[in-house]
Structure 1
Amino acid sequence: MSILNYTFRKMKIARKIPAAISVFIILPLVIALVAMSSTDTINKNGQKIYDNYLISFVNLTDARKYLYEEFVLIKSHIISPDDKSMRHAEQQINKASFNFHQSLNKFEQTLDTGEETKLLYEFKTKLKVFEELAARIIVLSQKNQDIEAGRLANDEYRVIFDDMQINIEGMLHTNIVGAQNLYSNNQQHFQDSRSIIILVTTILITIGLFIGWLLIRTILEPLLNIQRHIANLTSSGDLLQQLEIEGKDEITELSEAFNKMIASLYHTQSKLIQAEKLTSLGSLVAGVSHEINTPLGISITMGSTIKDNFQKFSTLLKTGKVRRTDLERLDKEIFECLNILLPSLDKAVILIQSFKQVAVDQTSESRRTFLLSDVVEEVVNTLHHKIKNTDIKFEYLIDKDIEMDSYPGHLGQIITNLFNNAIIHGFDSTNSGVISISAKQNNSSVIIKFEDNGKGISKESISKVFDPFYTTRLGEGGSGLGLNIIFNIVVSLMGGKIKVDSELGKNTCFTLDFPLISPQRGNLHM
């Protein structure tokens, strides 16, 4: 069976199916031929029973009847009172004799066994004597020698008649035994034929089940495996999973092509993620420039003011016209400038450190332990410039003690993409609203909600938002990959889950469920 299984696996489907169909056509034909042959034999035997035994039995029985009739008429001839009665008796005797010979000839034509032939030979020998005695008795009766005719009829004629009856009994018995034997043979043949048909049918069913099993193993199971693999890819988004390949048929070729396609998609996805990172870095650079510009501008202004004050004081000092009030004024102005300058420089340092950490996280894909609130705050700092001149508020409420062992760069990219998605799609027709981020720990996982009160998502679109290349801004710069990349990062790279709820015209909420400790990359298969 293993050899057949191996051979069947190596066959092309274009040969498997015709082979299976051929078996299911040929075997029923074999059963039909066996059944037809058996039926033909049974019919022949049945016809033989009718032709050879039933008819011969009837003919022999008729011959016996006419022989007895002739025997009785011979005796009645002896006691006939007149010539007219004798002639009538002789006519009846001749008629009985004719019918007897006719029936005996018909019987002789249906003889089938040597035993019957032997008995018939003995019967004919006695028949010759019987007919000679009958002729003598008729002659004696015609001469009115009734005593002599009666003696002959009751002695020799009676004895030969009884012997002939015994012969007929023997032939009838032989006939019945032959019919019974033929019937038994016919029944045995019927039983044998039925056993053969049952055996062939059982073999057909067994072969059919085996071929069905082979078809399931080599066609249906691989197709179901591909279906399950596609379902896993859909749910997990992990393009590193590969189909296991066995055999050399068209399904194997399909699996190999599918694996190549998935590998190509994985490389394309990696490039898209990299491109998305570069886009995020571009946005980060813009944010750095915009956010640091204000504290640096203030610092330069305050530095210039201090410089001007020192130049004025230096001029007074050189002329010797310095007064106590000038010194007090210089001290006061420098102190005021420093009170503005130093906080501005501190703010610039903090912003630079935040930008630096975000940049390192988003470009290195490194895994580390971090506080969720710190990462969110760092990312938020890089995004404020996008809503600075609008009435859109960016709020976040994160527990300070939520610690994660994961990929902060991926998390930052997710927040950035969701923020950009809200600005582009949720608030594309208004400059006011609220974007909020909240998070809470749930046992060994953290639930992050990213919500906006923008225009929402329609019911027709909400089931497609994570599909690649799906966009409502086709031709307006939308690629349809933003949320798909988020989905792949959440599921494939961070081992989490993501879902979206929305009510058109009111709000949109993305719920992300991350494990506090991300699984190793090799264990992300679901």
Structure 2
Amino acid sequence: MPNTAKFLSIKSLIIWVVMAITSLSLIIVSSVNLFSQISSYQAELQTDVTTLAELIGNGAISSIGLDQGAELETNLQVLAAAKIVENVHIYKIGENNELDFFASYNKTGIAPVKAKFEQAEELAIVTIIGGVAELIWPIYKDNTDLIGYVYLRASAETLEDHISQSILLTLSVFFVCIAICFFLTLKLQRAITAPIQTLVRLVQRITRQKDFSNRAEPNGIKEIDILIDAFNGMLERTQGHIQRQADAEHEYRTLNVSLEEKVNQRTLALKEANGELIQTLEKLHQFQRQMVQNEKMASLGDMVAGVAHEVNTPIGLGVTASTMMLDRLGDLRKGFEEKTLKASALSKFIAESEENLNIIYRNLNRAAELISSFKQVAVDQSSENNRTFSFAKLMDEILMSMRPKLKRVNHEILIHCADDLYIESKAGPINQIMINLIMNSIIHGFEFMEKGIIDIDIVMQDDKKICITFKDNGEGIPEQLRKRIFDPFVTTKRGQGGSGLGMHLVYNLVTQGLNGSISVQSETGKGVEFKIIFPVKRINPASLPKSALF
């Protein structure tokens, strides 16, 4: 912004303010005084004119009554002694109340004026116009009968002279006062600005020389002395601060010499410690990755063992049925060869064959379904690629792969998911997440319960994100454990086969594998609720081939 402050100084400010106030005050006082004098002069002139007109009217009463106009004009010549009187007319009220010119007086050298019959009312009071004062005064006989009028024209030169003298005197006094005020103002501003200028020069010198030992001298003006005392105090504190800073810098330089050597020694030791720490962290990360991998493989191993057990049952039944058919077929062949085969035996063989073949078909089909589900789950767990799938079908496959473990307990798992919900995402992380959550509820939440309930709600949000709400009615999670539930190696089954990596694996799969978020809410004795949200691409089932819908 422009520097306009340099055009305004304390000197000019004091002069302008004081002179402006003084001038305004003098103008107001002079104007009031001049107006008062002029009004007084005008009132005096009006009084003189009124008095003369009244005297002339009283003197003309008898002459008007006797109709002696010539004698009255002779008597009016005495008005020559009144310097202000220029013209006098005496009007008489004649017949029909009309005014007649009766007598007059005209000062020597002054031209007569015409009669003022029509201005009797207008000039009833003294009127001052154009340097003359005019008045028409009524003449009463016995103070009751109006017999005429006196017209008096007087000079107002004396009034104008008085006014001119008053104005001249007022202006003279005004300018004299202004000159005196200006002189005193200069003295005042010098008394105020001189110590300020001295202080400013001292500040400038200190700024240039950086010498804070200088001090300002008092000058006897209270306010400026207070400023000087404060300024000197600031200089003293600044000087002390600089001295302390110089001492501290000297001490710092002294200590720095010995400190550098210590720093070098500590730096070398720190580098060695950092190297050891980095190696320890790398080993820890390797151990953690190995533990996570072991957790995955242990989960997959449990699933393989369970599925193998499940597959053995239908295969065993199929083997038993097929062995029985072979035995019956041997008996049938023997009877046929010996020609002892009966129709009832053939009919019984056919019935048993149909029954055994149905047993074989059902159990083989069941084994095929188990193997297919296991294969899909195993592929999903080891795959990190996106694929299009039905979420409801994925949940069915997960539950089928967990069937061996779920058969051992009476817990109920409720899946709430739309059949037409097809998405494109990574099925492997979802598979591992759901297995870990379900097993976590079974092992920890339902540890002391005969029958627990797990509710899994799957809904879409804005066709861009999917929200999985996993709830159980188990024991819940204590507050101190809930805050660290996703940290590695946090478990309540230490020494009982628990590694503490299950929920840590879930957290990593959600946040890193699916780019989503997971939150937990739980209170002791009130179950647990996990909410998982991650982005997906929703697929319209109508755009998929029929083979992909099953």
| TM-score, normalised with respect to structure 2 | 0.47
Q: Which protein has greater RCO, CA pairs closer than 8 Å, 6+ apart?
A: 1
Larger Rg: 2
More helix by share: 1
